[in-house]
């Protein structure tokens, strides 16, 4: 089987995952799934970039060792990617000892081939950017950040980048596909037309890095270390070279100039292709911590689903160009294309097969043609062509044209009329044709919408996974007649604009607070803490405390207690056979709807007590503030129902 190896950048661990990182990882996941459906044996790797002064400082700020800090943030990336269900084969951390050995090997090979020399360098250094600022003079500030520069003289190892100028030009000129899109290639060629300065690849000003062999006090410059993660990730499987590095446009020079030069110097194979996509902007601004406009992926996933984000990013923004991210545009896209488009075609088609044909896909009558065959063939050819070129929005547009054609055909043929008129053959032809078109659209959209297309596939009656299908064989008329379909389920329920946006904003606040804690920043208090000088209760021992059985419960039902403006009657699942009935005095602050689905803390072994005629079997834990209003306790992370608190 042909092999294909692709990578995402390895992400810095001084920030928690946001939609920028998610964007590249989604694209990687889509390409992996597409290539698999083309019959390739695919490996997709990502990872975390964990060395350097910025990360060392972030760890210090968080009051943690760099080891503990980088592990916590790397785990956060992993956990996020797991929730999104990305088909990742390996997450390479640069703090992995195997990686250090591999970077040292690259250094030794470059050294042995004469491309590394020792020198000393005096320059003006930007601590924030961890780089010398070329041509800076005394008193200058960092042009990017405005921070003062430090004058530093370092004994460094230098990489003879200058020796590779001609070879790099030849690489880009002879392989126009090596760096895509074209605009990036032109920028790099323009850069290569100027003189190339040698590159200092070791540092003595930092400790948090990979040690240079036989040179105590020197660690590698982060990019000499980071780029090698692509190689380390597959070193044991012998998968190098990479077929594709997916990156954002701001790191093109490192990938298209430095990286091939390092590999040429060591005599190792070069990656085959680099694709640089554009930036996601938020309110037309670059996302940044200082602007406070960072969008996190998890709230979107929880409110709308992973597929909704995947679809929106790849359909709305031309891959390669910059694009704006906005919640309202995402909900609009979702409703227009997913709920009313693919989702509606699926539920219409499947419901009619249920209703008119007892849930069995009818056979195409002998003399019937496949009226949507050309649409299927065109969409297939266009989608494959687009996937090959990473033109995702074009590909999706072609698939949605097929969906549109199927919708139009339904309206024209009006199967409900055929049913009434008992035109059985014609009805079979129409139902078969639309289900077959749904099958083709589902398959073609599978790399972008893995969760929902798997569901439609199952609803079409398939027992085999959709991922086992191959694009090369896709044609009209392949839907097996006589296949029984299960009861219809909604695929993309319509979403209301404002409540969905509100939900995402709410979840975003919680997620931000959780990530701030992780990165060691003190989260801003949501309501000012005012203990109100309440005297402490008398001291207890741990034995006293364990007598209180506190459990995680989830609210399954909630309604106001009639005749009371304070009490809420709830049924709360704490992992027992039946949810508990619990009455709590929180109704002035919490609507019944806002409690539904919420995870709360329950005192589970409190003696039952009747409130307004309802027997309450437990108590909800809540903070009571000076104004007497309760705030229900909850969790920032997901916890299983029934877990005990101690």
| Total binding residues toward ligand MSP, as defined by CB under 6 A | 18
| Dist CA 121 CA 91 (whole Å) | 35
| Minimum distance, C-beta of residue 56 to ligand MSP, in the bound complex (Å) | 15
Strands 609-611 and 614-616: antiparallel
The residue nearest ligand MSP at its CB is 20
Binding mask 118-137 for ligand MSP (x = CB under 6 A): --------------------
Contact 113, 159 (CB under 8 A): no
Taking the complex as a whole, the smallest distance from the CB of residue 86 to ligand MSP amounts, in Å, to: 14
Alpha helices per DSSP H over 414-555: 415-420, 424-445, 450-459, 497-518, 542-545
| Binding test (CB under 6 A) with ligand MSP, winner from 39, 241, 248, 642 | 248
Site string for ligand MSP, 592-621 (x = CB under 6 A): ------------------------------
Residue 275 interacts with ligand MSP (CB under 6 A): yes or no: no
CA–CA separation, 192 vs 184, rounded Å?
12
* Long-range CB contact pairs, 312-318, < 8 A, 24+: 313/19, 313/23, 313/26, 313/280, 314/26, 314/27, 314/30, 314/392, 314/393, 314/396, 314/448, 315/392, 315/393, 315/396, 315/397, 316/393, 317/278, 317/280, 317/393, 318/278, 318/391, 318/393
Minimum CB distance to ligand MSP, residue 454 (Å):
27
Select the span of 115-123, 147-155, 244-252, 611-619 touching ligand MSP (CB under 6 A).
244-252
Q: How many CA atoms lie within 13 A of 253 on its CB side?
A: 8
Indicate the residue among 21 and 33 with the shorter CB distance to ligand MSP: 21
Does 242 help bind ligand MSP (rule: CB under 6 A)?
A: no
CB of 102 to ligand MSP, least distance (A): 13
The window from 145-153, 279-287, 388-396, 408-416 that contacts ligand MSP (CB under 6 A) reads 279-287
State the nearest-atom distance from the C-beta of 385 to ligand MSP, in Å. 24
Minimum distance from CB of 17 to ligand MSP (Å)? 9
- With beta carbons less than 8 A apart as the criterion, state whether 185 and 175 touch: no
Q: Does 54 bind ligand MSP (CB under 6 A)?
A: no
CA distances to 64, 151, 199 from 137, rounded to whole Å, are: 36, 9, 19
Q: How far is the CB of 52 from ligand MSP (least distance, A)?
A: 9
Q: How far is the CB of 162 from ligand MSP (least distance, A)?
A: 22
Min separation Cβ 190 and ligand MSP, Å: 20
Nearest CB to ligand MSP, comparing residues 45 and 442:
45
Residue number, 121 or 240, with CB nearest to ligand MSP? 240
Count of C-beta atoms within a 10 Å radius of residue 245: 24
12 lies in the site for ligand MSP, by CB under 6 A:
yes
Three-class DSSP category at 623 = strand
List the helix and strand counts (H, then E) for the chain.
22, 25
Question: Does 310 participate in binding ligand MSP (rule CB under 6 A)?
Answer: no
Helix, strand, coil proportions of the chain in percent (round to 5)? 45, 20, 40
Kindly give the pairing relationship between strand 3-12 and strand 244-248. Answer: parallel
Do the beta carbons of residue 620 and residue 600 sit within 8 Å? yes
Taking the least distance from each CB to ligand MSP, the nearer of 323 and 343 is 323
- Residue 294 binds ligand MSP, judged by CB under 6 A: no
Task: Please identify, using beta-carbon distances, which residue of 24 and 58 lies nearer to ligand MSP.
Answer: 24
Q: How far apart are CA 520 and CA 472, in angstroms?
A: 50
What minimum distance in Å lies between the beta carbon of 596 and ligand MSP? 35
303 binds ligand MSP (CB under 6 A): no
Peptide bond into 549 cis (omega under 30): no
19-38: contacts with ligand MSP (CB under 6 A): 20-21, 23-24
Residue among 27 and 149 whose Cβ is closer to ligand MSP? 27
Q: Closest approach of Cβ 266 to ligand MSP, in Å?
A: 16
CA distance 21 to 76: 12
Matching residue, tokens 């195997």: 98
Who contacts 62 (Cβ-Cβ below 8 Å, separation ≥6)? 69, 519, 520, 521
3-state secondary structure of 422: coil
Least separation in angstroms between residue 519's CB and ligand MSP is 13
Residue 9 binding ligand MSP, by CB under 6 A: yes
Using rule CB under 6 A, residue 500 touches ligand MSP: no
Distance CA 571, CA 573 (A): 7
* Residue of 4, 5, 6, 10 that binds ligand MSP (CB under 6 A): 10
Residue closer to ligand MSP (CB basis): 14 or 349: 14
Backbone φ and ψ of 202, nearest 5°? -130, 160
Whole-number CA gyration radius for the chain: 30
Q: Which of 219, 287, 330, 476 binds ligand MSP (CB under 6 A)?
A: 287
Q: Which is nearer to ligand MSP, 324 or 340 (CB)?
A: 324
Q: Exactly one of 29, 49, 96, 511 binds ligand MSP (CB under 6 A); which one? A: 49
Q: Does 5 bind ligand MSP (CB under 6 A)?
A: no
- Contact 446/33 with Cβ under 8 angstroms? yes
How far apart are CB 250 and ligand MSP at their closest, in Å?
A: 6
Among 73, 168, 210, 227, binds ligand MSP (CB under 6 A): 227
Give which of 303, 429, 435 is closest to 366, Cα–Cα: 429
444 binding ligand MSP? (CB under 6 A) = no
Where does this chain touch ligand MSP (CB under 6 A) — which range of 72-80, 221-229, 543-551, 593-601? 221-229
Nearer to ligand MSP among residue 11 and residue 387 (C-beta): 11
Q: Quick one: angle between helices 373-388 and 424-445, nearest 10? A: 0
Q: Quick one: 318 or 643, whose CB is closer to ligand MSP?
A: 318
Output the smallest distance, CB 455 to ligand MSP, in A. Answer: 29
CA 328 to chain centre: 19
- Interacting residue ranges for ligand MSP, rule: CB under 6 A: 9-12, 20-21, 23-24, 49, 226-227, 229, 247-248, 251, 279-280, 287
């Amino acid at each position: 089987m042909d092999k294909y190896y692709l990578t995402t950048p390895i992400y810095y661990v001084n920030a928690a995952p946001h939609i920028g990182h998610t964007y590249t990882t989604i694209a990687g996941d889509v390409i992996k799934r597409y290539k698999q459906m083309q019959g390739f044996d695919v490996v997709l790797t990502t990872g975390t970039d964990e060395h350097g002064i910025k990360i060392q400082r972030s760890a210090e700020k968080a009051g943690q060792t760099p080891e503990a800090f980088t592990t916590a943030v790397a785990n956060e990336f992993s956990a996020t990617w797991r929730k999104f269900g990305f088909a990742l084969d390996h997450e390479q951390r640069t703090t992995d000892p195997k990686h250090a050995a591999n970077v040292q090997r690259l250094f030794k090979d470059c050294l042995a081939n004469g491309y590394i020399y020792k020198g000393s360098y005096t320059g003006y250094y930007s601590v924030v950017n961890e780089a010398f600022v070329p041509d800076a003079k005394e008193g200058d500030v960092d042009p990017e950040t405005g921070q003062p520069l430090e004058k530093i003289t370092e004994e460094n190892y230098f990489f003879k980048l200058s020796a590779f100028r001609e070879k790099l030009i030849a690489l880009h000129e002879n392989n126009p596909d090596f760096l895509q899109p074209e605009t990036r290639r032109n920028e790099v060629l323009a850069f290569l037309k100027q003189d190339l300065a040698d590159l200092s690849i070791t540092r003595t000003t930092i400790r948090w890095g990979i040690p240079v062999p036989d040179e105590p006090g020197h660690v590698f410059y982060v990019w000499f270390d980071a780029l090698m993660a692509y190689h380390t990730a597959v070193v044991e499987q012998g998968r190098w070279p990479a077929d594709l590095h997916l990156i954002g446009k701001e790191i093109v020079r490192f990938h298209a100039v430095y990286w091939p030069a390092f590999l040429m110097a060591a005599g190792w194979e070069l990656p085959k292709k680099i694709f640089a996509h554009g930036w996601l902007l938020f309110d037309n601004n670059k996302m940044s911590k200082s602007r406070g406009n960072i969008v996190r992926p998890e709230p979107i996933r929880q409110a709308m689903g992973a597929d909704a984000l995947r679809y929106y990013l790849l359909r709305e923004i031309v891959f390669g160009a910059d694009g704006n991210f906005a919640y309202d545009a995402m909900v609009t896209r979702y409703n227009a294309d997913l709920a009313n488009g693919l989702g509606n075609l699926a539920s219409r088609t499947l419901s009619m097969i249920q209703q008119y044909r007892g849930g069995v896909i009818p056979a195409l009558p002998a003399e019937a043609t496949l009226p949507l065959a050309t649409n299927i063939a065109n969409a297939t050819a266009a989608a494959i062509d687009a996937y090959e070129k990473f033109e995702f929005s074009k590909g999706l547009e072609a698939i949605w044209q097929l969906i549109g054609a199927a919708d139009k055909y339904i309206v024209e043929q009006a199967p409900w009329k055929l049913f009434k008129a008992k035109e059985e053959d014609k009805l079979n032809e129409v139902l078969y044709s639309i289900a077959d078109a749904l099958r083709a659209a589902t398959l073609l959209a599978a790399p972008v919408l893995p969760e929902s297309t798997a569901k439609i596939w199952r609803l079409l009656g398939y027992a085999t996974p959709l991922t086992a299908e191959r694009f090369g064989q896709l044609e009209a008329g392949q839907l097996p007649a006589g296949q029984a379909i299960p009861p219809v389920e909604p695929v993309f329920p319509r979403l209301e604009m404002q409540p969905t946006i509100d939900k995402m904003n709410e979840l975003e606040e919680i997620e931000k607070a959780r990530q701030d804690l992780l990165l060691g920043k003190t989260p801003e208090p949501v309501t000012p803490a005012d203990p109100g000088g309440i005297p402490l209760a008398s001291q207890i021992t741990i034995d006293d405390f364990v007598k209180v059985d506190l459990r995680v419960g989830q609210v399954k039902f909630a309604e106001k207690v009639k005749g009371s403006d304070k009490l809420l009657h709830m049924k709360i699942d704490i992992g027992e056979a039946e949810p508990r009935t619990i009455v709590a005095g929180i109704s002035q602050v919490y609507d019944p709807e806002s409690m539904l689905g919420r995870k709360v803390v329950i005192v589970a072994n409190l003696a039952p007590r009747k409130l307004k005629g309802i027997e309450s079997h437990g108590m909800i834990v809540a903070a009571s503030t000076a104004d007497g209003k309760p705030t229900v306790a909850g969790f920032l992370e997901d916890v299983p129902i029934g877990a005990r608190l101690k």
